[in-house]
Amino acid sequence: MVEATSDTVKMGRRLIPKQELFAPGHRACAGCAEALAVRLACKAIGPNTIIVNATGCMEVVSSQLPTTSWRVPWIHTLFENTGAVASGIEAARKTLVKKRGIPDGGTHVVAMAGDGGTTDIGLQALSGMLERGHDVLYICFDNEAYMNTGIQRSSSTPYGAATTTSPAGKVSIGQVTWKKDLPEIAAAHEIPYVATACPSYPFDLMDKVTRGLAARGPAYVHILSVCPTGWRCNPELAIKVGKLAVDTGVFPLYEIVSGVYNLTVNVPELKPVSDYLSLQGRFRHLSPENIKQIQERVNKKYAALRERVKLTHEGIVV
């Protein structure tokens, strides 16, 4: 628990650390919800940490030599190896504490990567890190395409979205595959903690980062990060679009604690997906038929998630 001091600020009923470990002055686009998500995550993580960052938007906006936005030890190396670099750091720290007597102090190792660096090119290294049980919190900041290189589709791009490599055209609706479900893939490694989050629900996000850090062993938090540049939406709508992703059931907020599912933001009555899709230029070409398809898929997946919550709470393994 954060205690009320001159270093904290009260927001609603919550106390938030004032300290910005991800410093202002970075070069993210206007309305970048990923930068906000990183900022919030860093408040939950605190200064006693080492951050391992994949190549991607956050590396580019925060680390132009000779400047840095990072007030914690931070390392970027390549695109696809974040899980492996984090594994090496965690293994090294453990050994150095035991063997060379460096102070332990409970330093966290946190890996950060985008959806390309996680669901595509970095999936193998992530899987290795999770399978080997490294005590690392891995956070995927998912803006649903390769935004840094100019909005190319990834396996995390949703069905029907137009990107520069899945353009909508006379014979194509854009992305023709459904979004890869990385939280479920992470959960299949039977790690102690998996969660989804969105900066439009900031306290939920920070709580999940905190719980991920507290887990003994690997934790995976998948954060939907609205990208106004790539999603073709008004930058001032970033928070609203993120909230609609949750409220329509397109991106449910839940966690899996040692195999038990919790819907942390329960939406009893889902809003229609068109409320979410219509604010974004990347979906504007979709026909009512396409939107119906998406609605049906969301209904089905949300129902399945509710079912998992119910069954795992009743102790029935699914």
- Residues forming the site for another protein (CB under 8 A): 47-50, 52, 59-60, 63-68, 70-78, 80-81, 83-96, 98-100, 102, 105, 107, 124-125, 127-128, 131-132
Question: DSSP alpha helices (H): ranges in 190-287?
Answer: 202-214, 228-231, 238-247, 273-277
Nearer to another protein, 96 or 318 (CB): 96
Whether the CA torsion 234, 238, 240, 246 is positive or negative: it is: positive
* Nearest one of 37, 67, 304, 43 to 197, comparing CA atoms: 37
Nearer to another protein, 67 or 266 (CB): 67
At closest approach, how far in Å is the CB of 47 from another protein? 6
Nearer to another protein, 103 or 268 (CB): 103
At closest approach, how far in Å is the CB of 268 from another protein? 42
Nearer to another protein, 136 or 245 (CB): 136
At closest approach, how far in Å is the CB of 165 from another protein? 22
Q: Are 143 and 108 in contact (CB under 8 A)?
A: no
Looking at residue 91, its amino acid is A
- In angstroms, the CA 62 to CA 24 distance is 9
Which pair of tokens denotes residue 254?
């839940």
At closest approach, how far in Å is the CB of 102 from another protein? 8
174 Cβ partners below 8 Å, 6+ apart?
A: 160, 161, 162, 163, 166, 167, 168, 282, 285
At closest approach, how far in Å is the CB of 78 from another protein? 6
Nearer to another protein, 59 or 115 (CB): 59
